[in-house]
Amino acid sequence: MPANRKQWFAEQTLPAHIHYYSVVSFPDPANISNGLQGSHRKLAQLQDARNDSQLVFYDQVIPGSTLLGFFNADHWAMSVPIARQHKVSQALFADKNSFPREIALEAILRYVEEDLLTRKSIARPD
C-alpha cells in the first residue's frame, strides 16, 4: 500500500491554489488500544514501529502540506468515538479511545482559518 501512495503522489500534481494541512497520529505503544495491538506490531515488523496501527507516521503527511501536529493517540482514538457509544467494545477492543476530538478539531480549524486569512492578506494587501 505505501508504494501505491508514493507512486500516486509522484504521478499526480495537487492543485497549487489549495492549501493542505496534515495531522499525524503517533502514539506511544501504551496508548494503542487492544484491538489495534496486532496490526501495530505487524506494521512495525513490515515497515516501521512508528505507526498508529494503520499508517506509518510519514505516510500521514500530505506532501507540501503544513504539518499541524503529532497526536499521541492511535488510529481509532483520533477518528472514532467508540468509547462514547459502545461500552463493551470500548472495554474489549478500544480501551485507549479517550481523545479530545472536539478540542483538536477546533484547534485545527482555528489555525487553518487564521492561516488562510493571513495568506489572503499577504496576497492582497489593503
The pTM of the full predicted model, rounded to 2 decimals, is 0.80
Q: Identify the segments of the chain with pLDDT beneath 70.
A: 1-3, 83-93, 124-126
pLDDT of amino acid 87:
62
* In-domain check, residue 9: no
pLDDT of amino acid 83:
65
* In-domain check, residue 22: yes
d(CA 42, CA 62): 24
* In-domain check, residue 2: no
pLDDT of amino acid 126:
58
- The closest of 21, 120, 31 to 71, measured between CA atoms, is 31
- Pairing of β 66-71 and β 21-25: parallel
* In-domain check, residue 115: no
pLDDT of amino acid 9:
80
- Nine-digit cell string for 103: 478540542
pLDDT of amino acid 67:
97
Domain that holds residue 71: 16-99
* In-domain check, residue 34: yes
Q: How many domains does the chain have?
A: 1
pLDDT of amino acid 105:
94
